Structure 1
Amino acid sequence: LLVELKEPVVGNKRGNATGPADVRYDGAGGLTGENGKAVGAFWSSGPNRSTYELRTRWADDITPGNAHREYPRPQLTRDAWQNLNGSWQFAAAEAGEQPPVGRTLGERILVPYPVESQLSGIERHEDRMWYRRTFTVPAGWKIGDGRRLQLNFGGVDWQSEVYVNGTKVTEHKGGYDKFSADITSALKPGRTQELIVGVYDPTDAADGENPPIGKQRLDPSGIWYTPSSGIWQTVWMEPVAADHADSLKLTPDITGEKLAVEVRGVRDGVPVTATAYDGGRKVGTATGRTGAPLSVPVPDPHLWSADDPHLYQLKVTVGSDRVGSYFGMRSIAVEKVNGTPRTVLNGKPVFLMATLDQGFWPDGLHTAPTDEALAYDLRTHKQLGFNSVRKHIKVEPDRWFYWADRLGLLVWQDMPSMNTVNPSAASRAEYEHEMKRMIDQHSSHPSVVMWVTFNEGWGQYDQARIADQAKAWDPTRLVNNMSGLNCCGAVDGGNGDIADAHGYPSPQLPEPDGRRALVSGEYGGLGLAVPGHAWSVQMSYVDVDPAGYTDGYLARLGDVRRLMCQGGNGAVYTQISDVEGELNGVMTYDRKVLKLDAKRVKAAHDALIRDASNPVPTGCPAP
Structure 2
Amino acid sequence: MKTHVRGRWLLAAVSASALLSFSAAPASSAPDPHPVHLAAPLTSQVKAAGGWQAGIPPLATPWTDKVGPDNALPEYPRPQLTRDKWQNLNGVWEFAKAGLGEAVPAGKTLGERVLVPYPIESALSGIQRHEDRMWYRRTFTVPAGWKVGTGNRLRLNFGAVDYDAKVYVNGVPVATHRGGYDGFDADVTDALTASGPQELIVWAEDLTDATGQPIGKQRRVSDRGIFYQGSSGIWRTVWMEPVPAASITSLTLTPKVAAGVLTIKVNTTGGTGLSVRAVARGGGSVTGAADTLLTLPMPRAKLWSPDHPNLYDLSVSLVDRGRTVDSVGSYFGMRSVGTAAGADGKLRITLNGKILFNQANLDQGFWPDGLNTAPTDAALRFDLEQDKAMGFNAVRKHIKVEPDRWYYWADKLGLLVWQDMPAANTGPIPAQWRPQFESELHEMVDEHRSWTSIIAWVPFNEGWGEWSREDTGRIAGEVKAQDPSRLVNAHSGVNCCNSHGDSGAGDVLDFHQYLGPATPSPSGTRVAIDGEHGGFGLRTANHMWFGDGQAYEMEPSSSVLTAKYVANQEAVLTSAKYCGISAAIYTQITDVEGELNGFWTYDRQVAKMDLRQVRAINRKIIASADGSGANVPQPPAGTPGLDGVAFWPLDGSYGSLTPVGGPGFTDGHTGQGVALDGSQYLDAGKPVLNTASDYSAAAWVKLDKVDGAFQTIVSQDGPSNSDFFLQYSGADQKFAMSFAGVRALAGFKPAVGQWYHLVGVRDTVKGELRLYVDGRPAGAVSACLPQAAPTGNTVIGRGKYGGNPVDYLDGVTDQVHLYDRVLTDSEIQQLYSSGN
| TM-score, with length taken from structure 1 | 0.89
Asked if 1 retains the 8 angstrom alpha-carbon contact of 2:346 and 2:523, the reply is no
Instruction: Quote the residue 1:86 is aligned against.
Output: 91
Matches of 1:615 and 1:383, distance apart in 2: 26
Partner of 1:231: 234
Aligned to 1:37: none
Q: How far apart, in 2, do the equivalents of 1:545 and 1:469 lie?
A: 47
Q: Distance in 1 between matches of 2:216 and 2:786?
A: 42
Q: Distance in 2 between matches of 1:315 and 1:558?
A: 46
The alignment status of 1:183 with 2:188, answered yes or no, reads yes
Name structure 2 gaps, 5 residues minimum. Answer: 1-54, 320-324, 634-784, 788-836
The equivalent of 1:260 in structure 2 is 263
Secondary structure, counterpart of 2:620 in structure 1: helix
Per-residue CA deviations over 1:295-339 (Å, capped at 9, x if unaligned) read 111110100001100000000001311000000000001222342
**Which amino acid in 2 is paired with 1:382?**
K
Counterpart of 1:517 (choices 505, 512, 527) is: 527
User: For residues 96-495 of structure 1, what are the structure 2 equivalents within 5 Å?
Assistant: 96-206=101-211, 210-221=212-223, 222-266=225-269, 267-278=271-282, 283-319=283-319, 320-338=325-343, 339-461=345-467, 462-488=471-497, 489-495=499-505
* Structure 1, unaligned runs of 5 or more: 1-49
CA gap 1:441/1:89 in 2 versus in 1, 3 angstroms: same
Amino acid at match of 1:218: R
What CA deviation, in whole Å up to 9, does each residue of 1:61-87 have, x standing for no partner?
A: 111101100010000000100000000
Indicate if the aligned counterparts of 1:158 and 1:201 stay in contact, CA closer than 8 A. Answer: yes
Q: Per the alignment, do residues 244 and 342 of structure 1 end up closer, same or farther by CA in structure 2, a change over 3 Å counting? A: same
Instruction: Work out the CA distance in 1 between the residues paired with 2:274 and 2:553.
Output: 59
What displacement does 1:615 show?
3.9
Q: Which residue of 2 aligns with 1:541?
A: 552
SS of the equivalent of 2:255 reads strand
Residue deviations 1:154-183 (CA, integer Å, cap 9, x gap): 010000000000000000000000110000
Alignment CA distance shift 1:205-1:58 (3 Å): same
Pair 420,610 (structure 1): closer, same or farther in 2 beyond 3 Å? closer
Q: Give the secondary-structure state (helix, strand or coil) at the position aligned to 2:228.
A: coil
Deviation at 1:52, TM superposition (A): 4.1
Equivalents in 1 of 2:621, 2:522: separation in Å? 21
Describe the superposition over 1:13-68 as per-residue Cα deviations: whole angstroms up to 9, x where unpaired.
Answer: xxxxxxxxxxxxxxxxxxxxxxxxxxxxxxxxxxxxx9942010101111110110
Once the two structures are superposed, what CA deviation does each residue of 1:181-217 show, in whole Å capped at 9, x if it has no partner? 00000000122000000001000112xxx11000001
Letter in structure 2 aligned against 1:592: Q
Give the deviation of 1:506 after TM superposition.
Answer: 1.6
SS state at 2:137 partner: strand
Give the aligned partner of residue 815 of structure 2.
Answer: none
Matches of 2:474 and 2:215, distance apart in 1: 21
Shift of 1:490: 2.6
Decide whether the 8 Å contact of 1:504 with 1:541 is kept in 2: yes
Q: Within 5 A, what are the aligned runs for 1:28-47?
A: none
**Using the alignment, how far apart are the partners of 2:164 and 2:522 within structure 1?**
42
2:524 partner amino acid:
G
* CA deviation after TM superposition for structure 1 residue 537, in Å: 4.2
Task: Say what the alpha-carbon RMSD is for the aligned residues.
Answer: 1.6
Q: How many Å separate the matches in 1 of 2:386 and 2:596? A: 17
Query: 1:579 and 2:592 equivalent?
Result: yes
Match of residue 692 from structure 2: none
Distance 1:166 1:388 in 2: 46
Deviation at 1:512, TM superposition (A): 3.8
TM superposition shift of 1:424 = 2.4
2-structure distance, mates of 1:364, 1:617:
50
Larger Rg: 2
Shift of 1:291: 2.8
Residue deviations 1:249-283 (CA, integer Å, cap 9, x gap):
001111111111101243432110000013xxxx2
Q: CA deviation at 1:426?
A: 2.4
* Amino acid of the structure 1 residue aligned with 2:310: H
- Runs of 4+ in structure 1 deviating by more than 4 angstroms, as ranges, are 617-623
Q: Is the 8 A contact 1:162 1:196 kept in 2?
A: yes
The answer to whether structure 1 residue 503 and structure 2 residue 507 are counterparts is no
Contact 1:500 1:509 survives alignment (8 Å): no
- Equivalent pairs counted in the alignment come to 567
Contact map agreement 1:274 1:294 (CA 8 A) in 2: no
Higher relative contact order (CA 8 A, sep 6+): 1
Contact 2:276 2:290 in 1 (8 A): yes
Farther-moved stretch of structure 1 (332-341 vs 539-548):
332-341
Q: CA deviation at 1:619?
A: 12
CA deviation profile, 1:385-406 (whole Å, cap 9, x unmatched): 0000000000000000000000
Please tell me whether the aligned partners of residues 463 and 481 of structure 1 are also in contact (alpha carbons under 8 angstroms).
yes
What is the Cα deviation at residue 578 of structure 1?
Answer: 0.3
The 3-state SS of whatever aligns with 2:242 is strand
SS at match of 1:273: strand
Kept in 2: contact 1:486–1:510 (CA 8 A): no
| Other-structure match for 1:20 | none
How many Å apart are 1:511 and its aligned residue? 4.7
1:611–1:618 contact (8 Å) kept in structure 2: no
Query: Which runs of structure 2 are paired with 1:589-600 in the superposition (5 Å)?
Result: 589-600=602-613
Q: Select the residue among 549, 561, 565 that pairs with 1:553.
A: 565
Q: Which moved more, 1:604-613 or 1:98-107?
A: 604-613
Tell me the SS of whatever aligns to 1:246: strand
Look up the equivalent residue of 1:232 and give its one-letter code.
W
- Output one character per residue of 1:200-238: Cα deviation in whole Å (capped at 9) or x when no partner: 1000112xxx11000001121100000010000000000
The Cα shift of 1:420 comes to: 4.7
Look up the equivalent residue of 1:234 and give its one-letter code: T
Give the CA deviation at 1:549: 1.1
**Partner Cα separation in structure 1 for residue 350 and residue 122 of structure 2:** 41
Which amino acid is the alignment partner of residue 329 of structure 1?
M
Distance in structure 2 (CA, Å) of the matches to 1:418 and 1:597: 36
Would you say the 8 A contact 1:111–1:231 is kept in 2?
Answer: yes
**Percent identity among equivalent residues?**
53
In the alignment, residue 468 of structure 1 is paired with which amino acid?
A: G
Partners of 1:298 and 1:268 in 2: CA distance: 27
Mean Cα deviation higher: 547-556 or 417-426: 417-426
| Cα gap change, 1:563 to 1:51, in 2 (>3 Å) | farther
